[in-house]
Amino acid sequence: MELHQVRYFLAVASTLNFTRAAEHCNVTQPALTKGVQKLEEELGGQLIYRERQLTQLTDLGKEVLPMLDRTLASAEAVQRRAREFRRKEVAPLKIGLAPSISASLVLDPIAEIAKFVPGLQVELREGAAEKLVDLLLEGEINAAMVGDVQDIPARIDDWSLFEERYVVVLAPTHRLANRPSIGIDDLRETVLLERGECDVAPKIQRSYFSEEPPRLGHCSGHDLHLQHMAAAGFGVMLAPEHMPRLPTLKTIPLEGDLVSREVRLLAVQGRRYSPALDAFVKVARLRDWSFEGPDRRGRPHDHDKRAGGQPLPANRSAA
């Protein structure tokens, strides 16, 4: 398989017209047709229906399109990086973070790519997952990191990066503060601070509070607000383990690590990847995201348990 064949196929896929695709690629139509045919041979089937009036992608064509798109985007990004480097161009990178994802999580990967993308200018935006999906589709942000998310449009690529558990965060003066771990029954009898647009809330509700809802009362969509409320004794909060916490707060694991979620990376399919975005996606997909928690020092996250054959739930990339 060769990159020029991929380029020809993508041109046909976007124009659905061999003549225009050949013009677009600056080659003769026979050359383009031959390249596409060779690619079809290697992919083991037709990619394009060719009928007199109608050029259309086959199912196989539709299946391989996003991946080939990404591959070509990445190839072009490497070339553009060299050019940007020479011209000392500014390289913007806009990343959206769900409220339950701390900026502290992405700064190390960003520092890594800054070594290779000298004009890097990073903008971080916070928003609920659904909002970030809109921003991605509008081109307002290049990538997003979110927790559990319900419906991801097919046009968006998503990769599961790591799994993390939720822990209980409370004031040291709280009556549960001296427990080695806290069970669901304890939570039933205390005030739970409500996280607005919390990505694991539906899961918690379904699993543990299906009969009687938790005692909520105070709420915020902002992690730091909740932390201040917890510190002031307004109740306990559940927080993703990676989230940096106020020094006045105490962290206690949930009994049996009952609540966890997957942190996912989102980017729009088929859009040109800037060199900065290309590098960010690659680093994010390889990085060791495990972190040192207060009581699970260095314990690696077991995202591999299911990798032996079962597709990841809700991960279209793995299906």
Binding site for another protein (CB under 8 A): 1-3, 6, 41-44, 63-64, 66-67, 70-71, 74-75, 78, 81-82, 109, 112-113, 115-116, 159-161, 278-279, 281-288, 300, 303-304, 306-312, 315-319
Q: Which is nearer to another protein, 183 or 293 (CB)?
A: 293
Shortest Å distance, C-beta 169 to another protein: 27
Q: Which is nearer to another protein, 153 or 256 (CB)?
A: 153
Shortest Å distance, C-beta 312 to another protein: 6
Q: What are phi and psi of 225, to 5 degrees?
A: -60, -45
Q: Which is nearer to another protein, 188 or 296 (CB)?
A: 296
Q: Which is nearer to another protein, 20 or 287 (CB)?
A: 287
* CB contact at 8 A, 166 and 240: yes
Shortest Å distance, C-beta 227 to another protein: 29
Strands 55-57 and 91-97: unpaired
For the chain, the helix, strand and coil percentages under 3-state DSSP, each to the nearest 5: 40, 20, 40
Shortest Å distance, C-beta 100 to another protein: 21
Q: Which is nearer to another protein, 18 or 159 (CB)?
A: 159
How many beta carbons lie within 10 A of that of residue 237, not counting itself? 28
Question: Any idea of the CA torsion for 308, 312, 316, 319, to the nearest 10 degrees?
Answer: 30
> For helices 18-25 and 29-43, what crossing angle results, to 10°?
100
* Number of alpha carbons in the 13 Å side-chain half-sphere of residue 269: 19
Shortest Å distance, C-beta 288 to another protein: 6
Shortest Å distance, C-beta 205 to another protein: 29
Query: Which residues are within 8 A (CB) of 103 and not within 5 positions of it... i.e. 6 or more apart?
Result: 97, 124
Q: Which is nearer to another protein, 5 or 227 (CB)?
A: 5
